[in-house]
Amino acid sequence: MDKLKKLWRFLTSPEMILYIIFGVLTTAINLVAYGLLHPLFHINAYWNVLIANAIAWVLAVAFAFITNKLYVFRSKSFEPSLLRRELISFVGARLLTLGIDELGMMLLVSVMGMNDWIAKTIVNVLVIVLNYILSKLFIFKKES
- The pLDDT value recorded for residue 144 is 60
Residue-wise pLDDT tens digits, 4-62:
999 899 889 999 999 999 999 999 999 999 889 888 877 777 688 888 889 999 999 99
CA distance 48 to 65: 26
Confidence of residue 71 (pLDDT cuts 50, 70, 90): very high
Q: What is the mean pLDDT of residues 70-99?
A: 96
Report which residue type is found at 25: L
Confidence of residue 63 (pLDDT cuts 50, 70, 90): very high
Helix (H, G, I), strand (E, B) or coil at 13: coil
- The pLDDT value recorded for residue 47 is 81
Residue-wise pLDDT tens digits, 92-108:
999 999 999 999 999 99
CA distance 60 to 27: 7
**Is the overall model pTM greater than 0.85, yes or no?**
yes
**How far is the CA of 82 from the CAs of 76, 79, 112, 132, in angstroms?**
10, 6, 43, 19
**Residue 70 confidence (pLDDT) above 70:** yes
Length of the chain: 144
- The pLDDT value recorded for residue 72 is 97
